[in-house]
Chain A
Amino acid sequence: MSSAAEVPAPARFRFEDSSLAIKLRQNVGLVTAIALFCVIYLLYHVAHPKGFSSAVLVQNGDEIFTLAMVAMAQTVPVLAAGLDLSVGALMTMVGCFASYLLSGAPEGTPINLDLGGLHLVLATLPGGTTGLIVGMILCLVIGTLAGLLNGCVVVFGRIQPIIATLATGAIYIGIALFLRPQPGGKIDDDLNWAMTNSLGDFASTVHIFNDGAAPWFAPLAWIPVPFVLIILIAALVWVPFRRSVTGRAVYAVGSAEGAAYMSGLPIERAKIAAFTLGGFFAGCGGLFLAIQTSSGNADLPQAGAYTLNSIASVVIGGTSLLGGSGGAIGSIFGAMILRVISFFFRIFDIAPLLQPLFEGIILLAAVSIGALRMLRVRNTLELFR
Chain B
Amino acid sequence: MVAPTGEDFLVLAGISKRYGGVRALENVDFACARGKIHAVLGENGAGKSTLIKIAAGVVQPDAGHMRLDGNAVSFASPSAANAAGVVCIFQELSLLPDLSVADNISIAAPPRRFGLIDAKAQRRRAEALLTEIGCEDVNPLLRVRDLPLSRRQMVEIAKALGQRPRLLILDEATSALTSADVERVYTMLARLKAEGVAILYISHRMHEVEALADRASVFRNGRHIETFEKGARSTAEIVQLMIGRDIATQYPSKPRRPRPQPALRIENLSWEKRLDQISIDVGAGEIVGLGGLDGQGQKTLLFALFGVLRGVTGTVSVNGRPVRPGSPAGAKAPGVGIALVPEDRKTEGLMLPMSIADNLAIASLDALSNGPFVNRVKERRAVEGGISRLQIKVGDKNDAVSTLSGGNQQKVVIAKWLMTQPRIVLLNDPTRGIDVGTKQELYRLMRELADQGAAILFYSTDYDELIGCCDRVAIMYDGRIVRELEGAELTETNIVASSLNIDAASSAAAPARVAAHV
Footprint of B on A, CB under 8 Å? Answer: 1-4, 17, 19, 22-23, 26, 240, 243-245, 248, 251-252, 254-256, 259-265, 324-325, 377-381
Contacts and interface: CB of A to CB of B under 8 A. Distances in A.
Which of A19, A254, A255: most chain B Cβ within 10 A? A255
Contacts of A22: 139, 141-142
B388 interface: no
A248 B110 contact: yes
B96 A324 contact: yes
Contact of A255 (B58, B79, B99, B272): B99
B99 A263 contact: no
B107 interface: yes
Given A244-B116, A245-B117, 20 more contacts: A1-B137, A1-B148, A1-B150, A2-B137, A22-B141, A244-B117, A248-B99, A248-B103, A251-B96, A252-B96, A255-B96, A256-B95, A256-B98, A259-B94, A261-B78, A377-B310, A378-B309, A379-B308, A379-B518, A380-B327
Given A2-B150, A264-B77, A381 B117 contact: no
A26 B119 CA distance: 16
B309 A263 contact: no
A379 B100 CA distance: 23
B108 A263 contact: yes
B180 A260 contact: no
Contacts, number: 100
Contact of A262 (B58, B100, B103, B311): B58
A262 B57 CA distance: 9
Nearest to B56: A262
Interface of B: 58, 77-79, 82, 90, 93-100, 103, 107-108, 110, 112, 115-117, 119, 137, 139, 141-143, 148, 150-151, 178, 180-181, 271-272, 303, 308-311, 327, 348, 518
Interface of A is mostly: helix
Contacts of B137: 1-2
Contacts of A264: 77-79, 82, 108
A4 B94 CA distance: 27
Contacts of B518: 379, 381
A81 B419 CA distance: 39
8 contacts: A248-B110, A251-B99, A256-B98, A262-B58, A263-B79, A263-B94, A379-B309, A381-B308
Contacts of A260: 96
A245 B78 contact: no
Interface of B is mostly: loop
A4 B308 CA distance: 34
A305 B145 CA distance: 35
Nearest to B135: A2
Nearest to A256: B96
A304 B110 CA distance: 40
A248 B117 contact: yes
Contact of A256 (B97, B311, B327): B97
Given A2-B180, A264-B79, A265-B108, A325 B311 contact: no
A261 B57 CA distance: 11
Contacts of A240: 116
Please name the 6 residue pairs, one residue from A and one from B, whose CB atoms are nearest each other, closest first. Answer: A264-B79, A324-B98, A255-B98, A262-B94, A243-B116, A255-B96
Contacts of A381: 303, 308, 348, 518
Given A244-B117, A262-B58, A379 B303 contact: yes
Contacts of A261: 77-78
Which of B96, B139, B151, B272: most chain A Cβ within 10 A? B96
